[in-house]
Amino acid sequence: MPEITGVDRFTVPLGGQDIELQQVVHDAGGMPFLRIRVRERARFTIFDVDPATARRWAESMLRWADAQGGAEAGDPP
């Protein structure tokens, strides 16, 4: 069984999807992965991404959020 450690969990304000981020370390070793679990009612979408992909994804999302004014979740528009 892989070792799974919670990193963060939150709900998208508009849409209600549950987002869960977990670190996954497999028994066989190797690099840890970031598991991104998106729950939308009864449907789950799961991505396991390596550190380089997680960094690129995070940087792209941060650039986009900054271009939108960088408001925090829950801030008024």
The tens digit of pLDDT for each residue in 9-41 reads 999 999 999 999 999 999 898 899 999 999 999
- CB contact at 8 A, 11 and 18: yes
Model confidence, pTM:
0.82
2 φ, ψ (degrees, to nearest 5): -70, 155
Question: pLDDT band at 75, cuts 50/70/90?
Answer: low
**Residue ranges per domain, the chain?**
3-67
